Structure 1
Amino acid sequence: ISILATFGVVISTFIVGGSALIVFSFIGIKLPFIYCLLFGSLIAPTDPIAVIGILKKAGVPKSLETKITGESLFNDGVAVVVFLVIMGIIAGGHDVTAGHIMLLFIEEAIGGIFFGFAIGWVAYLMLKSVDNYQVEVLLTLALVMGGYSLAHAIHVSGPIAMVVAGIFIGNRGRLFAMSEKTREHLDSFWELMDEILNAVLFLLIGLE
């Protein structure tokens, strides 16, 4: 997952960028390669929503499904860094050095991991202090909505922060901070939210 979410994103950026350059040249659009790379950095991060359904029907091993889903959850930080570096080169107003790239990666990806762990720990303590499934479901919803907004405000990766917080709550939180009744309601709620948001996503794509 780590290799796919780092080297995979960079390689995909160059593959998509190179392919775009060939296609644009073929149809008579002269676009500098650096702009094609910028396009590639937007396309490189994967979103497996549509693919996972196909994989399940095809009966692929669970480990492969986990790798594909895991990569899509962690590639956001790397993709943001790649995009900002290429944008800096195009703008010409940024000092694009190895140190600058590393700082961006630490801020986005590593910062997102630490922030996600911190808010996940706070949410865990709150979940542990109550025994009411309605309140606990609302706490997880507040964690996602408030945590993502706060991550965006402090310029760390929101998706990575939410993944880390979710892993923390979904493992330690489930074991030590939730009753069986809460687990059932929490699973049902987020499975429904997952289906609704996926449907809304494809509806928006269709409208666009």
Structure 2
Amino acid sequence: MALFESLVLLLLVSCGLLHLARRVGLPYPTMLALAGALVAATPWAPDIAIDPHLALVLFVAPALLSAAYDTSPYELRRHWAALVALALFAVVLTTAAVAFIGWKVAGLPIAAAIALGAIVAPPDAAAAQAVLNSQGLPRRTLTVLQGESLFNDAVALLIFAAAVGSVTSGPSLTSLVPTLAIAVPGGVLLGVIAGAVFVALWRFWSGTLGSTLIEFVSTFGIWLIAERLHVSPVLAVVTYAMWVARFAHGRQTAGDRVHSFAVWDAAVFALNVTAFLLMGLQTRSILSQLQGAEIWNALGFAALVFVCVVVVRIAWVLSYRCLLSRVLPSLRQPPAGTVQTRFLVGWCGMRGVLTLATAMSLPAQFPGRDLIVLSAFAVVLGTLVLQGATIAPLIKWLRIPKDASLDRDVRFGRSVLDAVALDQSGGDAACSLPSSREAERALVAAQRRALQSLLLEGKVPEDAFRILQEELDWRELSLTPHRKREIAEA
């Protein structure tokens, strides 16, 4: 009951904070981080723990699927070199830098120090998406940041699993290398197979509450299966989400999509709130066990880890094109981005649910667990509050113009759909409005086919396609009788 009561209280507080965040222009993850810290600071906050194995699958899998569903694989392929530099090299470099500090300053064992580095290294997909979507960043920059925050999770979790495994089961490096070599392609293959099966079987649950339930079950199930097969669960879920986003929309009804998006947004938000609450409570429990100078030493080390994470990322983002241009020649190709844009990318390194959940997943007897959890929460709190709250003023200070290309692509798509409406009415603008609901539904169907052709021909990118698809979904629902709009129980 203590967890449930605290969760209800925090959800209520979070609803108020969401309203405040909109009024003051702050991203909601920043408010959640502050709320988690404030609730944990209250004297009546309960001592609550969570099963370490449950933390990752419960909090990370849904957030990853939600972010990956909105990410275009074709855009990621175009910017693969930058993604490799950020999702692979940046994670490894940050992990190494933090691990050195953990080993040298805090005296952590090497494996524990590496685990700490892997926990705090990857920027979070959900945090990046929530903070950046409303800032009008250049679309290329936004695509790279979203792609980075998806795939760096996989790199970080592979390093984390290897470090924790070396402590708990003591495998040698030679036994870990083949495992890591199989984990990446195995995760991608599992995601493709699961996505293809899901799309093929979608019609059995279409139009029912079971369709959304199956989405959640499949997401958690894919993660668990990937863990059992010792392949990357992150890559499995990301690949699965991208496959479904690409191939399922032709089989889904408008009602299924609208209902699914609403449920997923609410569920991911509630899970984020829960993760911040649990992490804050664990941090409170850790601090309550420290006395005198121990508290300041622990907080000082956590602050040092935070500074290291921020500085290493900015330095790497500003320099990786020069350092890696011989290894990755495509980095020399334009557009390389201005110094202002690259600095902004370096500053956009918010940590979130992945860092929280990974820290909570550490075994209870793991060496230095308390210090690692405290440092992880400090990094999440620091990046979300300091960086997340200053992105908007930083964009203005750097004079980075807002990207209007999405609006341009949406306007182009709408013009094509308007032309379809004129064609359906015989080219007479005065008669462009169909005279019956059946004719209007036929028009929507024709516009869907035209929109699909625009996507397949590459004339409309996927982000603009989703906006236009949503407009058609709502129009179709407005033309559908009430009894057919209802989501059936079975």
Sort the TM-score into its range (normalised by shorter chain).
Answer: 0.7 to 0.9
> Structure 2: how far apart are the matches of 1:34 and 1:201?
25
Task: For structure 2, list consecutive stretches of 5 or more residues without a partner in the other structure.
Answer: 1-82, 283-490
User: Identity over aligned residues, as a percent?
Assistant: 27
* Larger relative helix fraction: 1
Structure 1 gap ranges (5+) = none
Match 2:258 to one of 181, 184, 187: 184
How far, CA to CA, are the matches of 2:172 and 2:201 in structure 1? 43
Residue of structure 2 in register with 1:201 after alignment: 275
Amino acid at match of 2:145: I
Is the contact between residue 78 and residue 109 of structure 1 (CA under 8 Å) also seen in structure 2?
no
* Contact preservation (8 Å) 1:78, 1:105: no
Taking a change above 3 Å as real, the CA distance of residues 101 and 71 of structure 1, as seen in their structure-2 partners, is: farther
* CA displacement at 1:118 relative to structure 2: 0.9
Does the CA-based 8 Å contact 2:125-2:150 persist in structure 1?
no
Matched, 1:164 2:246: no
State the alpha-carbon separation in 2 of the partners of residues 87 and 138 from structure 1: 33
Q: Which amino acid aligns with 2:100?
A: G
Contact 1:133/1:181 (8 A) holds in 2:
no
Of structures 1 and 2, the one scoring higher in RCO (CA 8 A, sep 6+) is 2
Scaled by the length of structure 2, what TM-score is found?
Answer: 0.37
Aligned length: 200
Paired amino acid for 2:182: E
Q: 8 Å contact 2:158–2:232 — kept in the other structure? A: no
Q: Which residue of 2 aligns with 1:71?
A: 148
Match of 1:137 among 207, 212, 227: 212
Structure 2 partner of 1:9 = 91
CA distance in structure 2 between the aligned counterparts of 1:71 and 1:17, rounded to whole angstroms: 21
CA distance in 2, matches of 1:182, 1:88: 41
SS at match of 1:178: coil
Per-residue deviation, 1:85 = 4.6
Change (3 A) 1:132 1:50: closer
Q: Determine the C-alpha separation between the residues in 1 that align with 2:140 and 2:131.
A: 15
Structure 1 residue 159: Cα displacement: 2.3
2:100 to 18, 40, 46: 18
1:91-102 mapped onto 2 (5 Å cutoff): 94-97=171-174, 100-102=175-177
Q: Which residue of 1 aligns with 2:158?
A: 81
Compare 165-174 and 37-46 and name the one that shifted more.
37-46
Tell me what 2:118 maps to: 41
